[in-house]
Homo-oligomer: A and B are copies of this chain.
Amino acid sequence: MNTFGERFRFTSFGESHGPAIGGVIDGLPSGLHIDEEAIRVELSRRSHPVVRLEDGRIYPLPGGSSRAADEPDQVEWLSGQVDGVTIGTPLAFLIKNTHARASDYDAYRDVFRPGHADYTYFVKYGIRDYRGGGRASARETAARVVAGSIAKQLLTQRGITINAELTQIGKTTDPARFADEIQHAQADGDSIGGIISCRISGVEAGVGEPIFDKLQARLAYAMLSINACKGFEYGSGFAGVQKRGSEINAFSGGMLGGITDGTDIVFSCVFKPTPSIALPQMAKDIEGNLRQISIHGRHDACVAARAVPVVEAMAAITLVDYLL
Q: Does A110 contact B (CB under 8 A)?
A: no
Tell whether, in the assembled complex, residue A249 and residue B275 are in contact, meaning their CB atoms are under 8 Å apart.
yes
Most buried by B among A123, A124, A227: A124
| Complex: A185 Cα to B82 Cα, angstroms | 36
Interface string of A220-245 (1 = CB under 8 A from B): 11111101001111111110111111
Tell whether, in the assembled complex, residue B90 and residue A123 are in contact, meaning their CB atoms are under 8 Å apart.
no
Task: Give the residues in chain B near A221, CB-CB below 8 Å.
Answer: 212, 217-218, 220-221, 224
Q: Does A260 contact B (CB under 8 A)?
A: yes
Q: Does A201 contact B (CB under 8 A)?
A: no
CB-based nearest B residue for A262 = B123
| Complex: A79 Cα to B263 Cα, angstroms | 31
Provided the pairs A1-B210, A120-B256, A246-B279 are in contact, do residues A129 and B231 lie with their beta carbons within 8 angstroms?
Answer: no
Q: Does A31 contact B (CB under 8 A)?
A: yes
Give residues 69-103 of A contacting B (CB, 8 Å).
76-80, 82, 85, 87-92, 94
Task: Give the residues in chain B near A115, CB-CB below 8 Å.
Answer: 245, 248-249, 252, 256
> DSSP class of A's interface residues: helix, strand, loop or mixed?
mixed
Task: Give the residues in chain B near A53, CB-CB below 8 Å.
Answer: none
Task: Give the residues in chain B near A211, CB-CB below 8 Å.
Answer: 1-2, 12, 135, 140, 225
Tell whether, in the assembled complex, residue B206 and residue A120 are in contact, meaning their CB atoms are under 8 Å apart.
yes
| Complex: A253 Cα to B169 Cα, angstroms | 21
Segment at the interface with B among A15-23, A43-51, A153-161:
A15-23
Provided the pairs A230-B253, A249-B275 are in contact, do residues A92 and B13 lie with their beta carbons within 8 angstroms?
Answer: yes
Give residues 156-211 of A contacting B (CB, 8 Å).
168-171, 185, 188, 190-195, 205-211
| Complex: A209 Cα to B170 Cα, angstroms | 29
Tell whether, in the assembled complex, residue B87 and residue A129 are in contact, meaning their CB atoms are under 8 Å apart.
yes
Q: Does A66 contact B (CB under 8 A)?
A: no
| Complex: A169 Cα to B240 Cα, angstroms | 10
CB-based nearest B residue for A14 = B79
Tell whether, in the assembled complex, residue B11 and residue A123 are in contact, meaning their CB atoms are under 8 Å apart.
no
CB-based nearest B residue for A242 = B171
Tell whether, in the assembled complex, residue B234 and residue A233 are in contact, meaning their CB atoms are under 8 Å apart.
no
Residues of A at the B interface (CB closer than 8 Å) are 1-4, 6, 9, 11-15, 18-22, 24, 26-27, 30-31, 76-80, 82, 85, 87-92, 94, 114-117, 119-121, 123-127, 129, 134-136, 140, 168-171, 185, 188, 190-195, 205-214, 216-225, 227, 230-238, 240-250, 252-253, 255-262, 270-277, 279, 281
Q: List 5 A-B contacts (CB under 8 A).
A: A20-B92, A78-B94, A168-B241, A195-B238, A217-B220
